[in-house]
Structure 1
Amino acid sequence: MAQKLQTIGFDADDTLWHNERFFHLTQQRFAELLADHAPRDHLDARLLAAERRNIGHYGFGVKGFTLSMIETAIEVTEGRVPAEVISKLLLAGREMLDHPMELLPHARQAVEAVAGQYHVLLITKGDLLHQERKLAQSGLGDLFDGVEIVSDKQAATYARIFGAAPGGAGAAMMVGNSMKSDVIPAIEAGGWGVFVPHDLAWDLEHAEPPEAPRYRALHDLSGLADLVARIG
């Protein structure tokens, strides 16, 4: 008999509120600033490679992305990037950090539907101060029983977080837009993984859907309450 669902975890960026579109807009600006030095596809590939190298040093989020843009600008110009361009990249990073948080459709309703009935957690990657600021702006903070801002999301991460929650990992569900970070490792830890796609996705978060009995997918968050009711 399946273990009764007791804990529900939500990802934040591009699950509850917009995030990736601001990265895409800034990356477009980055390409425009360096258009005289390299074509867009080459810049995108070099920037992605820099982000991949730097995750272990800078972590996830705007600050690491900004540093990776600067590093890429130095590389593609062979050290000749104008100081004005560096200044504009730093400004773009600050504008991303200062941009108002915007909830995704159905986000509030989805969290409200399970809050009070289940142990509800926010589990997100990224810069601590930036994520705390977005959570405060979201107006959702009082609905969560706990908030975990982590450096990465792996099976061990969920095993630790869900292991300390009511019912343990076997009675937990993780809801998110990243197959790689939200769904697969939560299932590997023993919980349920619910994929809610977003129109934009970071290349480093791509993974194929798992063939697992505890995997589910929704068109959007409007279907979460019904899914939770069927499972638990």
Structure 2
Amino acid sequence: MSTPVRILVADDHAVVRAGFAELLATQPDFAVVGTARDGAEAVRLSRELAPDVVLMDVRMPVMDGIEATRRLADSARVLILTTFDLDEYVFDALRAGASGFLLKDVTAERLFDAVRVVAEGEALLAPAITRRLISRFAGLRPATQAAPALAALTPRETQVLRLIAEGLSNPEIAARLTVTEETVKTHVSRVLGKLGLRDRTQAVVAAYESGLVVPGSRDLW
């Protein structure tokens, strides 16, 4: 990117908050514009500082990360910080508009890559990671009626949405369908546009919530 990625770090633990901020600041293409100790402060600072990416903890006082994500989803891309095994609210955060999630023990390189990928407008890292998370938490929820918007998709677009939910990347979808990667990109773009979704992570959520894909199922055809 021609200008540094502006980042806000939100976590109620001072050591964690400072650690992520200091680590991110080592990258020449990043600019840590602020830190927040709770969700309410994250919302306020985001509106003042206009970060490109917000690293958001889930469990925080005053306002949790889910509500903060919901309020910021239209103005900043949010990466959820989670311990994975403990935060059973991550699915809600993704539904609220988060672009993905990071484990709190993430390596430095994965953290840097995640921020860059999300800042460029893509979903976070390997879709398969997101799929496993969504599958786990979606399985705890009652099945919902298929979203009417899915009717707007062509059979091929529906097929592509299933494969996104399975966790396949664009090159992998292209190989599975025996088409070019550019064709896949076109289908993905149309799926997102027709369903009013921002990125692949939201597409995975939509696939599970609509009942198009059953959590844990490997039969996605």
TM-score range, shorter chain: 0.3 to 0.5
- The alignment's TM-score, normalised by the length of structure 2, stands at 0.33
Q: Which protein shows a greater Rg?
A: 1
- The alignment's TM-score, normalised by the length of structure 1, stands at 0.32
Q: Which structure has the higher relative contact order (CA within 8 Å, separation 6+)? A: 1
